[in-house]
Amino acid sequence: MSLRRKLAVLADAAKYDASCASSGAKGTRSGSGLGSTEGMGICHSYTPDGRCVSLLKILFTNRCLYDCRFCINRASSDTERAAFTVEEVVRLTMDLYRRNYIEGLFLSSGIVVSEDHTMERLVEVARRLREEERFGGYVHLKIIAGASPELVSLAGRYADRLSCNVELPTAGDLAKLAPEKRAESIEGSMHHAAEEIGARKREKSKKAPPFAPAGQSTQMVVGATPTTDQTILRSASTLYRSHGLRRVYYSAYSPIVHADPGLPRKPVTLLREHRLYQADWLFRFYGFEVDELFEEEQALPLDIDPKLAWALRHPELFPLDLNRAPREQLLRVPGLGARRVDRLLSARRQGRLRADDLRALRVSMPKVAPFVHGLEGAGAHHRVLMRTLRTRVQEKRAEQLELFESCAA
Amino acid sequence: MRGLTLEPSSPDRWREVRGTLRRLLAEGADPAGLFADGAQGSLLEPAPAGQRFPTPRFPRGWQGPFRRVAHHRDPDSLRLLYRLLHRHQTEKGLPERALDPDVRELVARDAAVRRDAHKAKAFVRFREVAPDTFAAWHRPDHHVLPLVAGFFARRFGDRPFAIFTPDATLHVREGELTWAPGAPRSAVPDADGLDDLWRTYYRATFNPARTNLKAMRAEMPAKHWSTLPETRDLRALVAEAPARVAAMAARAERQPTVADVLPERRSLETLREAAPACRACPLHGPATQVVFGEGPADARVVLVGEQPGDQEDRRGRPFVGPAGSLLREVMASVGLPPGETYLTNSVKHFRFRGKRRIHDRPRAGEVQACRPWLHAELELVKPEVLVLLGATATRSLLGSRVKFRDVRGKVVATPFAPHTVVTVHPSAILRAEDGATLKESLSSALALARSLLSPSICRAATKW
């Protein structure tokens, strides 16, 4: 098989992994020839799906012993198979990097022979890049769950980021759709990586070799099982807390060729994925608890964002005085992001804020006005605006429902 | 009135701007009396060599923004910088005043330059113009080349390279940075030997189910497309996306699955009624009829075999052939009452070879296709103990990684029942030479299953 065909097959097979970040690794490795990492990630291109192309994201091979139902590369799928050699991956990475097409390499793999055998190949690619090619660019290695701790440790020495996918939000989902994967071995591998990353961080000496300086992340497919948004976000929040993850990626299940009959036929709406990311941000940077974002419904509303939904459920906490409210309360105002809040706070120190000032700070007044008061020069009263907003949301929902029912009939 | 100009793209632009600003301040120039117009030529004389001006009051937080805005293409930016510096000498707390029009303008212009510099890092594309020598042509909005020169030298400095822009050219060789005047696009060849591989990668990594052109255009402005080879495929990629998605859906559509016939309201009866319509695998063709599971809906034990055999296929009931009789005999001997047991198979149709209807092992695809039926049965019956008879049942419910010989005779954890026992299939006993030993292990496995049942009193209690 030609290198070109292999690349087509193995890039196609890797594209369902949502992680594309090339950020977080500060300072280039000492002794590097080609390449650097400078903290901020760079997207070198964008595909027509609006996704950034930052790393050469490929599988080492898409042959796989496992039979995970949601995965296009599962053993029982009749998809075209291919495998790179270590040399081929190293050359591709170096050649593309040299022309500034990529920030580095994202390497994952189907499982062949055994977990350790597969992990050894991935580590060997990274070792060759670092030690023989003196490559200083970004390397993201997938941890094969169940690989031996020694291999995970080696991977961390060469990689900037490690990731071990939990694949599905709960252990029950995993047992159903990925019968060969074990939640315990996934957690075990993550735990080992987290320990080493933590140990390296506590290390005072600057000369100590780096260990996955950009931390570790994980991914879960959402919508392949009936698991609710609330359960998904609880799992994610536990993962952030117990393993110090940098990111949890949510990947909306989209039907694959030769899909398993037990899986949904229709793709999960991308809006659901988007709402999950919004909620993820809310509990990581805005001081929300996961359970605050839900009431009786265990799903995030699709028509409005989770913060607005929360605020509409809590009219008793509003309006806030923009000139007095503390940061943690401002963060909960729909339409105010963390950066906007900080600029607001610094502007507030210079004197009383007026409605014009908010416009100057590019705060969207229609979004914010129903939730704040105490602004000179603002238009209608917040209570009127709040009522209008609620009615509009309700009317829209009623309309949708009608539409849905007439379709169903 | 005095004019302010600078060479359009000097590598030392920031130092020149800083010198000019200091001199103007030292001379007490009025910001309102300055104009910026390149065409007028500079009315400023260059700073006499060796002459130094006093360092003015300058806030630390402005260093980055001033340095960057000095590279803004609009010449009026210099006037803005001088006005800010001039005001800062007398007005307290100016840098913190986020609402001040000048401060806002500084922030906005800084953001524009920063974005442009970032895009230069992203979209400069090198071509191999001679063995191990590289060159790129790029057209930035602002004079950002000096701002990104260090980045490119750090990253690619182990080989000689050059970056051409319409305003200036940077050459890097063995750590040495040299500058030359700008050059047109024709200075660098349009293609590189690696373009083909890159375009292959770009096409493969795009998911046609998620086309979002607006997001792409916002991040990758069309003015950079001329030097990005992958954009030549855009039109084709977008045009073929709906067809690719439709083909994927059609492929899924054409392949019937259990989901097509699974009833919405689930009970063992509705399942049994729906099963004959199943076309999820080709076995329904040659077989006489579907052989569904049998037993009470509240059975405490479920036994899963492989597939119906000749007798079962003719009579439409599971475990009624020779292997079935043997199984029922062993069940009776260990006290597993048939009234509390549900018997079923991994595959619900008989697979056979030739006219003599010789039993043929079901294939992995058929086991997989049929699995939703088995799952549906287990979800309804919710057994306390699940018994897997043989390798096929084991693979169907425990997955292909689990080796039958490793779990045979053991109790394993599954999501389907509190206890799952793995043992041999009764037909293996009939075929084997040392049938007695195998029969012994089937018997002890079923006895083990029996012992795992909680005392009936508990069961009765939970039922209430």
Q: A-contacting residues of B 268-297, CB under 8 Å? A: 280
Question: What phi, psi does B202 have (nearest 5°)?
Answer: -60, -45
Question: What phi, psi does B119 have (nearest 5°)?
Answer: -65, -30
Which residue, B70, B85, B119, sits at the end of a domain?
Answer: B119
A76 CB neighbours in chain B (<8 A) are 364-365, 368
- On whether any CB of chain A is under 8 Å from the CB of B200, the answer is yes
Q: What's the gap in Å between the CA of A119 and the closest CA on chain B?
A: 17
Distance CA B284, CA B66 (A): 77
| Pick from A303-307, B246-250, B360-364: least confident | B246-250
Is the pLDDT score of B156 beyond 60?
A: yes
The pLDDT value recorded for residue B452 is: 87
Is the pLDDT score of B461 beyond 50?
A: no
Residue B246 burial (CB count, 10 A): 12
For residue range A77-132, what is the model confidence (pLDDT) as tens digits?
777 899 999 999 999 999 999 999 999 999 999 998 889 999 999 999 999 999 99
Are B57 and B63 spatial neighbours (Cβ–Cβ below 8 Å)? no
Q: H-type helices in B171-321, by residue range?
A: 195-205, 213-219, 234-254, 268-274, 310-315
B204 CB neighbours in chain A (<8 A) are 7-9, 11-12, 15
A96 CB neighbours in chain B (<8 A) are 194, 197-198, 201
Q: A-contacting residues of B 416-455, CB under 8 Å? A: none
Is the pLDDT score of B39 beyond 80?
A: no
One domain for residues B9 and B97: yes
Cα B238 to chain centroid, rounded: 20
Distance CA B292, CA B267 (A): 13
One domain for residues B232 and B373: no
The pLDDT value recorded for residue A163 is: 93
A226 CB neighbours in chain B (<8 A) are none
Residue A123 identity (one-letter amino acid): V
- On whether any CB of chain B is under 8 Å from the CB of A2, the answer is no
Element of type H or E holding B170: strand B168-173
B46: which residues sit within 8 A by CB, 6+ positions away? none
Q: B-contacting residues of A 135-154, CB under 8 Å? A: 136
Is the pLDDT score of B3 beyond 80?
A: no
- On whether any CB of chain B is under 8 Å from the CB of A31, the answer is no
Decide if B400 and A100 are in contact by the 8 Å CB cutoff. Answer: no
A155: which residues sit within 8 A by CB, 6+ positions away? A119, A122, A123, A126, A141, A143, A162, A212
The pLDDT value recorded for residue B51 is: 60
Higher pLDDT, B289 or A31: B289
Q: A-contacting residues of B 131-170, CB under 8 Å? A: 134, 136, 151, 154-156, 158-159
Mutate to test the interface with A, among B198, B224, B255 (most CBs of A within 10 A): B198
Question: What proportions of chain B, in percent to the nearest 5, are helix, strand and coil?
Answer: 50, 10, 35
Position A142 confidence tier, pLDDT thresholds 50, 70, 90: very high
* Token pair of A33 as six digits: 């020839």
Do β-strands B127-130 and A138-142 pair in parallel, antiparallel, or remain unpaired?
Answer: unpaired
Decide if B364 and A44 are in contact by the 8 Å CB cutoff. Answer: no
The DSSP call for residue A128 is: I
Residues A157, A161, A166, A167, CA torsion sign: negative
Question: What phi, psi does B229 have (nearest 5°)?
Answer: -60, -30
Comparing CA positions, the residue from A152, A149, A243, A160 lying closest to residue A209 is A160
Q: What's the gap in Å between the CA of B94 and the closest CA on chain A?
A: 10
Distance CA A123, CA A147 (A): 11
Mutate to test the interface with B, among A46, A68, A74, A339 (most CBs of B within 10 A): A46
Is the pLDDT score of B49 beyond 60?
A: no
Q: Which of A44, A48, A361 is nearest residue B238 as measured by Cβ atoms?
A: A48
Mutate to test the interface with A, among B210, B214, B262, B378 (most CBs of A within 10 A): B210
- On whether any CB of chain B is under 8 Å from the CB of A99, the answer is yes
Mean pLDDT of B11-28: 84
Are B423 and B442 spatial neighbours (Cβ–Cβ below 8 Å)? yes
Are A286 and A338 spatial neighbours (Cβ–Cβ below 8 Å)? yes
Average pLDDT, rounded, for chain B: 85
Mean pLDDT of A126-155: 94
Measured in residues, chain A has a length of 409
Q: What percent of chain B has pLDDT over 70?
A: 89
Count: domains in chain B:
4
Decide if B128 and A99 are in contact by the 8 Å CB cutoff. Answer: yes
Residues A325, A331, A335, A341, CA torsion sign: positive
Peptide bond connecting A319 to the previous residue in cis, omega within 30 degrees of 0: yes
| Pick from A71-75, A271-275, A322-326, B339-343: least confident | A71-75
Apex A315 CA angle, A310 and A320, nearest 5? 100
Q: Which residue carries 């659901």 as its tokens?
A: A272
For residue range B418-436, what is the model confidence (pLDDT) as tens digits?
999 999 999 988 888 888 8
Q: A-contacting residues of B 104-133, CB under 8 Å? A: 104, 118, 121-128
Q: Which of B196, B202, B212 is nearest residue A50 as measured by Cβ atoms?
A: B212
Distance CA B232, CA B238 (A): 11
One domain for residues B165 and B271: no
Comparing CA positions, the residue from A277, A166, A282 lying closest to residue A224 is A166
b/e code B406-416 from CB counts within 10 Å (16+ = b): ebbeeebebeb
Is the pLDDT score of B36 beyond 60?
A: no
| Pick from A209-218, A256-265, B81-90, B256-265: least confident | A256-265
- On whether any CB of chain B is under 8 Å from the CB of A377, the answer is no
The DSSP call for residue A167 is: B
Are A53 and A20 spatial neighbours (Cβ–Cβ below 8 Å)? yes
The pLDDT value recorded for residue B44 is: 46
Residue B65 burial (CB count, 10 A): 21
Element of type H or E holding B133: strand B133-137
Euclidean distance between the first and the last CA atom of chain B, given in angstroms as a whole number:
97
Residue A54's alpha-carbon distances to A47, A51, A85, A89, A158, in angstroms, are 11, 9, 22, 16, 19
Decide if B399 and A66 are in contact by the 8 Å CB cutoff. Answer: yes
Q: Which of B159, B206, B259 is nearest residue A261 as measured by Cβ atoms?
A: B259
A146 CB neighbours in chain B (<8 A) are none
The pLDDT value recorded for residue A406 is: 58
Residue B235's alpha-carbon distances to B123, B206, B230, in angstroms, are 20, 13, 10
Residue B29 identity (one-letter amino acid): A
The residue in chain B having the minimum alpha-carbon distance to the alpha carbon of residue A253 is B209
Distance CA B43, CA A211 (A): 57
Are A317 and A333 spatial neighbours (Cβ–Cβ below 8 Å)? no
One domain for residues B335 and B458: yes
Mean pLDDT of A5-19: 88
Is the pLDDT score of B438 beyond 70?
A: yes
Q: Which residue carries 């280039």 as its tokens?
A: A28
- Helix orientation angle between B322-334 and B435-452, rounded to the nearest 10 degrees: 50
Q: H-type helices in A228-348, by residue range?
A: 229-243, 270-285, 306-313, 327-330, 338-348
One domain for residues B282 and B416: yes
Residue B6 identity (one-letter amino acid): L
Mean pLDDT of B210-220: 81
Residue A351 burial (CB count, 10 A): 11
One domain for residues B324 and B425: yes
The pLDDT value recorded for residue B264 is: 81
Q: H-type helices in B128-207, by residue range?
A: 145-156, 195-205
Are A106 and A57 spatial neighbours (Cβ–Cβ below 8 Å)? yes
Q: B-contacting residues of A 254-273, CB under 8 Å? A: 254-262, 265, 267, 270
- On whether any CB of chain B is under 8 Å from the CB of A406, the answer is no
Higher pLDDT, A144 or B31: A144
One domain for residues B450 and B312: yes
A38 CB neighbours in chain B (<8 A) are 151, 154
| Pick from A158-172, B105-119, B275-289: least confident | B275-289
Euclidean distance between the first and the last CA atom of chain A, given in angstroms as a whole number:
53
Q: What percent of chain A has pLDDT over 90?
A: 43
- Helix orientation angle between A115-127 and A86-98, rounded to the nearest 10 degrees: 40
In terms of average pLDDT, the best of B111-120, B218-227, B423-432 is: B111-120
Distance CA A52, CA A21 (A): 9
Q: What's the gap in Å between the CA of A107 and the closest CA on chain B?
A: 14
Q: H-type helices in A59-182, by residue range?
A: 86-98, 115-127, 149-158, 171-177
Comparing CA positions, the residue from B47, B19, B44 lying closest to residue B34 is B44
Position B35 confidence tier, pLDDT thresholds 50, 70, 90: low
Higher pLDDT, B245 or A122: A122
For residue range A360-378, what is the model confidence (pLDDT) as tens digits?
888 888 888 888 887 766 6
A228: which residues sit within 8 A by CB, 6+ positions away? A298, A299
Is the pLDDT score of A390 beyond 70?
A: yes
* Token pair of B189 as six digits: 């060849």
Distance CA B321, CA B338 (A): 16
One domain for residues B276 and B418: yes
Is the pLDDT score of B255 beyond 70?
A: no
Q: What's the gap in Å between the CA of B325 and the closest CA on chain A?
A: 32
The pLDDT value recorded for residue A82 is: 94
Which residue, B139, B163, B187, sits at the end of a domain?
Answer: B187
* Token pair of A15 as six digits: 């594209």
Strand ranges inside B279-416, DSSP E: 301-305, 341-345, 352-353, 358-359, 385-389, 411-412
CATH of the domain at B419: 3.40.470.10
For residue range B269-327, what is the model confidence (pLDDT) as tens digits?
999 988 888 888 878 888 889 999 999 998 999 999 999 999 999 999 999 999 999 99
Q: Which residue carries 């043989």 as its tokens?
A: B390
Q: What are the beta bridge partners of residue A161? A: A140
Which residue, B187, B209, B233, sits at the end of a domain?
Answer: B187
Distance CA B365, CA B233 (A): 37
* Token pair of B247 as six digits: 């083909």
Is the pLDDT score of B462 beyond 50?
A: no
Question: What phi, psi does B179 have (nearest 5°)?
Answer: -115, 145
One domain for residues B215 and B108: no
Distance CA A76, CA A66 (A): 9
A34 CB neighbours in chain B (<8 A) are 155-156, 158-159
Q: Domains in chain A, start-ordered, CATH in brackets? A: 3-288 (3.20.20.70), 306-408 (no CATH)
Is the pLDDT score of A276 beyond 90?
A: yes
One domain for residues B366 and B424: yes
Residue A286's alpha-carbon distances to A282, A306, A329, A339, in angstroms, are 5, 12, 9, 11
Distance CA B4, CA B112 (A): 22
Q: Which residue carries 């949890």 as its tokens?
A: A248
Categorise residue A39: left if φ over 0, alpha if ψ from -120 to 50, beta otherwise. left
Name the CA dihedral angle for B56, B61, B62, B65, rounded to a multiple of 10 degrees: 160
Decide if B252 and A7 are in contact by the 8 Å CB cutoff. Answer: no
One domain for residues B434 and B365: yes
Cα A193 to chain centroid, rounded: 18
Position B41 confidence tier, pLDDT thresholds 50, 70, 90: very low
Distance CA A93, CA A126 (A): 11
Position B7 confidence tier, pLDDT thresholds 50, 70, 90: low
Q: B-contacting residues of A 104-123, CB under 8 Å? A: none
Are B123 and B212 spatial neighbours (Cβ–Cβ below 8 Å)? no
One domain for residues B267 and B232: no
Residue B210 identity (one-letter amino acid): R
* Token pair of A343 as six digits: 């600029």
Could you list the residue range(s) of the whole structural domain that residue B207 is in?
A: 195-254
